[in-house]
Amino acid sequence: MTETPSRDTVDRVTRRRYIAGAGAVATVAVAGCSDDPEVGEDDGAGDDDGAGDDGTGNGGDADEGDLEIVHWWTAGGEEEAYNALLDGFREQHPDVEIVDNPAPGGAGSAIDTVIQNRVLDQNPPSTFQIWPGQALTPYTDEGLLEDIGDSVWDDEMREAYLDDIVELSRPGGDLVAVPINIHRLNNLFYNVDVLESADVDATDIDDPQGLMDALQAVDENTDAVPMAHQTQAPWSTLQLFEAVFLGQQGTDDYLSLVDGDVEGLEDEVREALELLAEYADYYPEDAGSISWDQGNDRLIEGEAAFLHQGDWAAGQYEGADGFEFGEDWEMVPFPGTDGVYHSVIDSFVFPTNNPSPEATEQFLNYAGTVDAQERFNPIKGSIPPRTDVPNDEFGPFLTRQIEDFDNSNTQPPTIAHGTAVAPAVQSELEEAFANFNDNRNVDTAYEAIRDAF
């Protein structure tokens, strides 16, 4: 029997790939996302963390020295995870006044513009949620994030973190971010009963085209929506395009794509878009007006069969009463992507001109601890970027995800969640997929993707 590689071994083996993708594009223009925040997600009201909670991420209510945190974790179980993190922090720092300031909207669809304006205006919050990697570059290029290489990243922390994740935290050289989780994006979740009624075995679906056949079977044999996909905001379709492309072509071509070789991959890009246009027949009728977690609710209720989504969707299942992993819901890697751990990472940063330097440093220090990552990740549906967090709290699904990560051949970065491309490119791609959601026009989408890179 071969020995299972440790997370560190896997990490070293695949490091070159990861960095190749993460360093793909050097565009640095500051660009806001074009889409509106999705409705349906919690508006952030009702928490007990004090002021600042106007649901926009704008500042205003924090006093000097208060820890103002801007984030978008208000949907489907994410708020509980975030609150668990704050509870842990409060236990260690009871004197710090936390001003919770969410800007709801899946994949940060509402946060970019407001944060960029605030940071550029030198009126930043104490810290904010951001993907490490290319998403940081508009800030690091302008020197708007403090180097926390000494103050926060001590030797103990560096040793404990996966090397790749440390690298993503310093796109400009200095360490500027503290990653707190690793989500997997290439999941295909499903409702077990619905698939049984449809006579579909998800483990038999070998490639993205096979998923099309399964969607057809669900449509013919049940009343359920085959795929609980949302198109209100474009990021979910962009990430589905990534999954289809990865499933059809594999990681090497995917990394060439994020490196910008769209023309060299024209046929492959078109092939993915064509299948994506066919999937769209099987989305909910109201896909254009629901959020990702509202789509996921339908899977939980047995009204939908499949969902392609990051494993934040599993965080929502954990919070749903009587909806058990294995019995009621399951997940297979998106067809064709076995051995791939398509990673989405969240982190917190220390903006310059910080309103609460002491509290911010305390919070970032805490976010990098075992305690923080052990509280946050099991609820969030993610796995820790530290290698020394005990597995006990992670439950069967996330324990399997940890094993899958350890055994994965590659962990490519994502476009839709900011690690692989700079915000300006991501923003143009989102616009391309917003249009594609409307018109399913492969030619126009191909040209827009080519131009975006």
- Residue numbers of the site for ligand GAL (CB under 6 A)? 72-73, 78, 106-108, 183, 310, 312, 344, 346, 417
Identify which of residues 222 and 347 has a Cβ nearer to ligand GAL in the complex: 347
CA 214 to chain centre: 26
Nearest to 115 by CA among 103, 100, 105: 103
Tell me how far, at minimum, the Cβ of 293 lies from ligand GAL, in Å: 8
Start-to-end Cα distance in the chain: 44
CA distance 213 to 196: 15
Tell me how far, at minimum, the Cβ of 137 lies from ligand GAL, in Å: 17
Identify which of residues 33 and 211 has a Cβ nearer to ligand GAL in the complex: 33
Tell me how far, at minimum, the Cβ of 278 lies from ligand GAL, in Å: 25
Identify which of residues 107 and 211 has a Cβ nearer to ligand GAL in the complex: 107
CA distance 344 to 417: 6
CA-CA-CA-CA dihedral for 409, 415, 416, 418, to nearest 10 = 100
Tell me how far, at minimum, the Cβ of 419 lies from ligand GAL, in Å: 9
Identify which of residues 178 and 200 has a Cβ nearer to ligand GAL in the complex: 178
Which ranges of 161-207 does DSSP label H, i.e. alpha helix?
A: 163-168, 192-198
CA distances from 150 to 176, 347, 359 (A): 10, 17, 16
Assigned token pair, 199: 């006579």
Identify which of residues 77 and 355 has a Cβ nearer to ligand GAL in the complex: 77
CA 402 to chain centre: 16
Identify which of residues 73 and 139 has a Cβ nearer to ligand GAL in the complex: 73
Q: Per residue in 40-73, is it b (16+ CB within 10 Å) or e — as a string?
A: bbbebeebebbebbbbbbbbeebeeebbbbbbbb
DSSP annotation of 340: B
CA distance 194 to 304: 7
Identify which of residues 73 and 161 has a Cβ nearer to ligand GAL in the complex: 73
Tell me how far, at minimum, the Cβ of 436 lies from ligand GAL, in Å: 20
Q: Give bridge partners of residue 102 from the DSSP assignment.
A: 71
Identify which of residues 351 and 413 has a Cβ nearer to ligand GAL in the complex: 413
CA distance 400 to 391: 11
Which ranges of 259-356 does DSSP label H, i.e. alpha helix?
A: 266-279, 292-300, 312-319
CA distance 241 to 288: 17
Do the Cβ atoms of 430 and 234 come closer than 8 Å? yes
Identify which of residues 152 and 344 has a Cβ nearer to ligand GAL in the complex: 344
Do the Cβ atoms of 366 and 92 come closer than 8 Å? yes
Identify which of residues 106 and 355 has a Cβ nearer to ligand GAL in the complex: 106
Tell me how far, at minimum, the Cβ of 314 lies from ligand GAL, in Å: 12
Q: Which residue has the tokens 């440093």?
A: 361
Tell me how far, at minimum, the Cβ of 132 lies from ligand GAL, in Å: 10
